[in-house]
Amino acid sequence: MIRAQKGGPFGWLLDRYVGWKFRSMFRGLWVRGTLPPGPEARLVYMNHSNWWDGFVLHQLGQAAGWDAYCLMEEKNLRRYRFLARIGAFSIRPGDAASSLESLRYARELMRRPRAAVGVFPEGEHRPFGVLPLRLERGVELLARAGRVECLPVAFRYAFFEHERPEVLVEVGPPHGPGPLSLFQESLGAVVQRVASAASPEGFTLKVAGGSGVAERWDALRRMRA
């Protein structure tokens, strides 16, 4: 497996590049619900509808003060090996030995203060909002191995009244390890809640992004006035 290799000059540069790239693409990262702080470790599990999901987890981890990691399919991490520098580590689906090694490594990570191990239990990109969710058993096994708090989180990418899209994040109530049905119900509930949002109202801005042409023009008009 490929282990996370956070830190170092390249990790520092990549960390800042990801932040800059996120802010240049989105108007903001908005959160509804409580992002639990450290020092406790936790398992964070999310829906997976977009290429940006891993980078959103990266930004969310920084906003929450987590030491964030993310489980990623090994063939993709080998292709983008640099992602290990911001916390990605690998698994080979269908390979029992690889799965066991990744499980043990994730358990090791979840013993560290402030660690947040992120996993996308759908296993692949699926259209946003399609319910019921179909999750793989890996998330249940990770929770039982780590014996940590489990946090359901839903991501939604949405255009409202502005030029750039918003990223809405719904955080559900944490729970302990349990059967797969618990994870399906908990994640499905936060996906439903964030899907019903008609605007960022009621959410808290955690990462401010870029403004659009209309917003810059309005700012210029106010300066002139």
Residue 124's CB is within 10 A of a number of other CB atoms, namely 10
The reported pLDDT for the residue numbered 222 is 75
In which order are the strands placed within the sheet that holds 115-119? 88-91, 67-73, 115-119, 42-46, 149-158, 166-171, 28-32, 204-208
Tell me the C-alpha distance between 38 and 64, whole Å. Answer: 8
Domain-embedded: residue 24: yes
Instruction: Tell me the two tokens of residue 213.
Output: 């042409």
Domain-embedded: residue 2: no
For residue 165, pLDDT over 70 is answered with yes
Supply the mean pLDDT for the chain: 93
Tell me the C-alpha distance between 157 and 26, whole Å. Answer: 9
The reported pLDDT for the residue numbered 11 is 92
Domain-embedded: residue 180: yes
CATH number at 216 reads 3.40.1130
Query: Chain-centre distance of CA 159, in angstroms?
Result: 19
DSSP per-residue letters across 149-176: EEEEEEEEEE--SSSSPEEEEEE---B-
Domain-embedded: residue 3: no
Instruction: Tell me the two tokens of residue 192.
Output: 């439903």
Q: Number of C-alpha atoms within 13 angstroms, CB side, residue 19? A: 15
Domain-embedded: residue 56: yes
Domain-embedded: residue 124: yes
Domain-embedded: residue 97: yes
Domain-embedded: residue 1: no
Show the domain range for 209.
Answer: 8-224
For residue 206, pLDDT over 90 is answered with yes
The reported pLDDT for the residue numbered 219 is 67
> Total structural domains in the chain?
1
